[in-house]
Amino acid sequence: MIIGVDTGGTFTDFVYKEGDTWGVYKVLSTPANPAEAVLNGLDHLAHGKRKQIIHGSTVATNAILERNGAKTALITNEGFEDIIEIGRQNRTLLYDLCFEKEPQIIPSDLRFGIPGRILQTGEELIPLNIQKAEEVGRRLKNRDVESVAVCLLFSYVNPCHEQKLMELLAPLGLQISLSHEILAEFREFERTSTTVINAYVSPKMQQYVGHLIKELDRKDLLGIMQSNGGSISAETAMKESVRTILSGPAGGAVGAYEIGKMAGYSKLISFDMGGTSTDVSLINRNLSLAFETTISGYPVKVPMIDIHTVGAGGGSIATLDEGGALKVGPESAGADPGPICYGQGHRITVTDANLYLGRLIPEHFLGGGMTLMEKKLPLYFENMGQKIGLSPQELAQGILDVANTAMEKAIRVISVERGYDPREFTLFSFGGAGGMHAAFLARLLNIPKVLLPPNPGILSAVGMLMADVIKDYSLTIMKKQENVTFKLLSEGFEEIEYKGQEDLRAEGIPDSEIMLERYLDMRYDGQSYEIMAPFDEDYVERFHALHEKTYGYRNPDKAVEIVNIRLRARGRPEKPRFQKKETMVKEPPLKAFLGNKPVVFDQRRVRTKIMARHKLKSGNRIHGPGILVEYSSTIVIPPFASAFVDEYGNIIMEITP
């Protein structure tokens, strides 16, 4: 049995495949101990069975956001102890006179400089001071440090000093992160920051994943989803935890890409609305990658799917600011206490607003497995509405409008602001709350179609089952175009290609399923930013074309500089596939109809049909207004939309402008 597990802020989702049988399962997350929900779900689904598990974890993310990672120290060259504090001169808010930096996760008294220097050529200028290194080791032990980040200048060219420090510190039993293993690239601030983050979160990840491995059967295989859209073994994830920071959202993007491709849609905007936040990503025939991002104020320079997140989800709390304006999020009710309608919460959320307007069907929520307290809502909506002069119905609609506006802005960031027209894309909606908002977002952005896969509430877990095993490698070479040839550059890939093949073999991938992809980071001489282009004999022309597409011009007379070589080693195991279904008549079967109920659209109550999605057949067409219920999600088809079921069971919603 293969199982995808995605831990979210509100629910933990499970997708499993055994033979030709697919199944889904959801349990409430246990934020205090995420492993509890994971192990309970696995025990419910596959007690005593041999399991292959791919897991998307929030442990690394939460350690950074909540500042509860390991007690970490930094060892660097003497004189460079404060590099993570100094950072870069640019500020995120240029005109904010009260701007304050995020507090450093490593205080100044845990940053240690050791004499020794490697030149940019790789030559040793000053030998490593062994006596000083041993003294630092004793201080680490006395300070009860749990993890150490080692980041020395030019270690990506010659790592001998970092390797020597590893030998000296290993007997202390600390978690040690070496920068040349985490990020073998120039720009020491970003390399240091990334290595520090890895050192900060790895002990937490080791504790969490180690606990899962201990509780699972010895025959079970556990893989962890990475931010780059691929999976790695649990053992690798415990050492390189920085690569798992966005593992859950990455699973959703991979699922959208694979299912969209299967259904014939190559240009997608993935829209994942969960309980705590919404993640959006643009897919233009391929997944978009980013090679540097900022997590809670800290630069992290590892490849990851380019995902933009906004604090608007089903559990986002509605509040009034000091001026009486309505706000939604980023604070979330999560799973505990949850929305008011879950029975424990006391603050209005987006889920409560959807239920108040009739867009959630209580008796079919989670397949009828969870009771929604609809009768508790009117008093809360009346009290809050009175404060700003709105009726309860107007307040509920206002909450949804504010949330939709925040999500619309997020989609514009990844599309319009990057030169893409949303009208040329299909909105791929998933997440537990996505189906209730997708049509309204599509109309705001003039997107003509919305694709909703089967069980959209657990698509991130589906994506994990479809992910390749991926290892990314990079190496700074800094060469002028006139000083290299295609042959010389090809030879430069040999060492990291050998490592890539060895690492994938260690992950259990046979040679026949290993694929190596070569890329170069290039720029015009004098520029301070690079563009990644595929490496082949026309690599220079590819760079000119990509530069023109990205920035609107090319400069063929300007010298080109090759900054980094990149390798993506991809293992392509057999993936689970969905079977095509025979196309039936347009009219849905009578057994799919569950009744009618009044639902509020545009401040009017409209009689709306309720249908069971799992009883619809390929070819069936539904005219709005309608609500489709299924185990993991609810889909709202407003009066301005219609929908049909395609041959893979996807709902394709068509929006009338």
Secondary element (H or E) of residue 489: helix 486-492
Tens digits of residue pLDDT in 108-155 = 999 999 999 999 999 999 999 999 999 999 999 999 999 999 999 999
Q: What is the mean pLDDT of residues 591-618?
A: 95
DSSP notation for 296-334: TTEEE-S-EE--EEES--TTEEEEE-TTS-EEEEEEE-T
Task: Please say if the pLDDT value at position 316 is more than 80.
Answer: yes
Pick the range with the lowest mean pLDDT from 90-99, 379-388, 526-535, 587-596: 90-99
Q: Which of 95-104, 177-186, 192-201, 379-388 is predicted least confidently?
A: 95-104
Structural element, H or E, at residue 600: strand 593-601
* Cα–Cα distances in angstroms (integers) from residue 65 to residues 10, 60, 276, 293, in the given order: 17, 9, 14, 14
CA angle 644, 645, 649 (to 5 degrees): 160
H-helix segments, 240-292: 247-263
Q: Residue 22: beta bridge partners?
A: 17
pTM here is 0.89
Contacts of 361 (CB under 8 A, 6+ apart): 594, 597, 610, 627, 629, 634
Q: How many CA atoms lie within 13 A of 628 on its CB side?
A: 31
How many residues would you count in the chain?
A: 657
What pLDDT shows up at residue 275?
Answer: 84
Burial class of residue 527 (count of CB atoms within 10 Å of its CB; 0-12, 13-18, 19+): middle
Edge-to-edge strand ranges of the sheet holding 11-18:
21-28, 11-18, 2-7, 52-56, 221-225, 231-233, 469-480, 560-571, 514-524, 531-534
Confidence tier at 100 by pLDDT (50, 70, 90): confident
Classify 43 as helix, strand or coil.
Answer: helix
d(CA 188, CA 179): 9
- CA–CA dist 548, 558 (Å, integer): 13
**In the prediction, which pLDDT does 334 show?**
78
pLDDT in tens, 409-447: 999 999 998 889 999 999 999 988 999 999 999 999 999
Of 3.40.718.10, 3.60.10.10, 3.30.420.40, 3.30.1490.20, the CATH number of 2-65+206-247 is 3.30.420.40
**CA–CA gap between residue 635 and residue 625 (Å, rounded):** 11
- Decide if 203 contacts 69 (C-beta within 8 A): yes
325-337 core/surface letters (b: 16 or more CB in 10 A; e: else)? ebebbebbbbbee
pLDDT of 555 higher than 90: yes
The contacts of residue 43 (CB under 8 Å, 6+ apart) are: none
Q: What share of the chain is helix, strand, coil (3-state, %, to 5)?
A: 35, 30, 35
Q: Average pLDDT for residues 176-195, to the nearest whole number?
A: 95
Residue 323 near residue 563 (C-beta atoms within 8 A) = no
Residue with tokens 């993506």: 568
Distance CA 261, CA 649 (A): 14
Instruction: Report which DSSP code applies to 537.
Output: T
Alpha-carbon distance of 475 to 567, in angstroms, equals 9
- For tokens 């490698």, the residue is 473
Interacting residues of 13 by C-beta distance below 8 A, sequence separation 6+: 4, 5, 6, 24, 25, 26, 457, 458, 460, 461, 632
Cα of 605 vs its chain's centroid, Å = 38
Q: Return the percentage of the chain with pLDDT > 90, whole number.
A: 74
Domains of the chain, residue spans: 2-65+206-247, 72-200, 316-402, 469-571
Q: Taking a C-beta distance cutoff of 8 angstroms, is the pair 447, 271 a contact?
A: no
Q: Which helix (H) or strand (E) holds 593?
A: strand 593-601
Mean pLDDT of the chain: 92
What is the greatest pairwise CA distance in the chain? 82
Predicted local distance difference test score (pLDDT) of residue 99: 77
Burial 259-291 (b: 16+ CB within 10 A, else e): bbebbebeebbbbbbbbbbbbbbbbeeebebbb
